[in-house]
Amino acid sequence: MTATSRPPTFLGLPTAQRPSLPTAPRGVGHLRGDRSFPDAARDALRDGQLRANLGHATSTIRAKRAAVVGEVPDWEELRQAGKALKQATMARLDELLVQLEEQVTARGGTVHWARDATEANEIVTRLVRATGADEVVKVKSMATQEIGLNEALEAAGIAAHETDLAELIVQLGEDEPSHILVPAIHKNRAEIREIFLRTMPQFAEPGAAAELTDEPRRLAMAARAHLRERFLRARVAVSGANFAVAETGTLAVVESEGNGRMCLTLPQTLITVMGIEKLVPTWQDLEVFLQLLPRSSTGERMNPYTSLWTGVTPGDGPQEFHLVLLDNGRTAVLADEVGREALHCIRCSACLNVCPVYERAGGHAYGSVYPGPIGAVLSPQLTGVEDNASLPYASSLCGACYDACPVAIDIPSILVHLRAEHVEAQQRTTPEAAAFRALSRAMSSPWLWRLAQRAAGLGRFLSRGGPTLPVALPPPASAWTRSRDLPTPPRETFTQAWAREHGR
């Protein structure tokens, strides 16, 4: 999917001084890993099954996406409109949020504001308690994963049942999601069958296990049976939102399985947790995003179900509706003129599926609910870059994410920008910084540079006349020579030879 008409990828860095605003608090939610990306990736790279599952899944979905995007003649125009709409939203975010609040309230909903994960969890817990329910059904939602809502509810004695098939697999397997759209992408059918047999009460009877094969259809039907009764008895549902329309107060959830519809329709009370950036200004604007999202995410012309609702409708669906608007570091992202573009993300996961690093390292290596290229630029901004300092480097800057992104987020430029933010946040001079500073001095003075190049030529000495440098170089060069040879520097540089031959 490379269209030559498209503007080129851009590793840019305009000027900005960001005001400092509170980031997502530590100790709650899932935005920080306990290991650096390279360390976590190493385990994933060693797991052959995981790599096979990921390779298969990402290449399948890449091909599907390319086919359905290719059939839209005005894709690039939609993409540019999507980008402009998101820029326009961010430029008036305060105004639009107030408008959304007015509209939702006028139509019978209640709006709550949460500064951070802790506050959002408290609000939802309080709302559930007020209904007297001790369980909720959940629609897959990145925002509630981000804030660790399930754990918070559990601590309050409220069971949260995930109802999306992949989320269910992850929840039953006591695992972590590894993809925005297909959270169980790292599991294959045999592994899923094993989890279901182990955890679903319907297979507890001796002999019942034989009914469950590893055929995807059988597994999906097992999930249907497992959840059916939960949907019918649920009194409270918790959802996220893909979009909210400021003009009308309309909320949208885009899904495939119908679990979303179950949650959004059957319970008496609906609580929706939404990041403040999910807004679009007008109803008409949805015409852009409802075209961009399904083709980019599942590679379908349209996803099976999209639910749109505004406040409360008497006689149809939940009669009590709460909308929780979540900051949790988003305003800190907004404060960065370069980085704020990450807030335009519509969570389609196209950038994950095309990313060569994600494909090898898998989602868990990113240590956050937001994996892949978008995670590498979003998580460090939500937490403050020092809490996720290895993520901006988890990219070869190949630019595939930018090309695939339906709202044209220039992820490579944000990565480069965040690397600089990290470097500039260091109080002490690291060995790397010292090296780059020395190199900078040499490279800004022609005669010093010639001197340095001659010293590099001394590397020949290490090779003892061999064609390549020895394998056992000290770090950081050893990271290179573990798997690749390094050519021995030549006796003479090109500029030296040229000057000699042409008398300069």
Q: State the residues that interact with ligand SF4 by CB under 6 A.
A: 296, 345-351, 374, 404-407, 409
The smaller minimum CB distance to another protein, of residues 156 and 477, is found at 477
Q: Which does 272 bind (CB under 5 to 8 A by kind): another protein, ligand SF4, none?
A: none
Min dist CB 154 to another protein, Å, is 24
The answer to the question of residue 85 lying near another protein (CB under 8 A) is: yes
Q: H/E/C letters for each residue in 368-408?
A: CCCCHHHHHHHHHHHHCHHHHCCHHHCCCCCCHHHHHCCCC
DSSP class of 321: E
Min dist CB 9 to ligand SF4, Å, is 13
Cα separation, 218 vs 193, whole angstroms = 9
End-to-end CA distance of the chain: 48
Q: Which does 409 bind (CB under 5 to 8 A by kind): another protein, ligand SF4, none?
A: ligand SF4
Query: Site for another protein (CB under 8 A): which residue of 49, 202, 213, 313?
Result: 313
Site for another protein in 101-160 (CB under 8 A): 107, 112-115, 119
Cα separation, 105 vs 282, whole angstroms = 17
The answer to the question of residue 322 lying near another protein (CB under 8 A) is: no
Number of Cβ within 10 Å of residue 435's Cβ equals 11
Q: Evaluate whether 456 touches 489 at the Cβ level (below 8 Å).
A: yes
Q: Which does 8 bind (CB under 5 to 8 A by kind): ligand SF4, another protein, none?
A: another protein
**Which is it for strands 305-310 and 243-245: parallel, antiparallel or unpaired?**
unpaired
Site for another protein in 163-192 (CB under 8 A): 163-166, 169, 182, 184-185, 188-189, 192
Q: Which does 494 bind (CB under 5 to 8 A by kind): ligand SF4, another protein, none?
A: another protein
DSSP class of 35: S
The smaller minimum CB distance to another protein, of residues 26 and 301, is found at 301
Cis peptide before 25 (omega within 30 of 0): no
Min dist CB 405 to ligand SF4, Å, is 3
Query: Site for another protein (CB under 8 A): which residue of 208, 445, 470, 500?
Result: 445
- Closest alpha carbon to 406 in 4, 142, 69: 69
Q: Which does 66 bind (CB under 5 to 8 A by kind): another protein, ligand SF4, none?
A: none
The smaller minimum CB distance to ligand SF4, of residues 186 and 295, is found at 295
The smaller minimum CB distance to ligand SF4, of residues 133 and 351, is found at 351
The smaller minimum CB distance to another protein, of residues 150 and 390, is found at 390
Q: Which does 480 bind (CB under 5 to 8 A by kind): ligand SF4, another protein, none?
A: another protein
Site for another protein in 273-312 (CB under 8 A): 276, 283-284, 286-288, 290-291, 294, 298, 300-311
Long-range contacts of 147-152 (CB under 8 A, 24+ apart): 147/28, 147/29, 147/117, 147/120, 147/121, 147/273, 147/326, 147/328, 148/28, 148/29, 148/30, 148/117, 148/121, 149/120, 149/121, 149/124, 149/238, 149/273, 152/28, 152/121, 152/122, 152/124, 152/125
Query: Site for another protein (CB under 8 A): which residue of 99, 121, 259, 296?
Result: 259
- Closest alpha carbon to 252 in 300, 288, 294, 306: 306
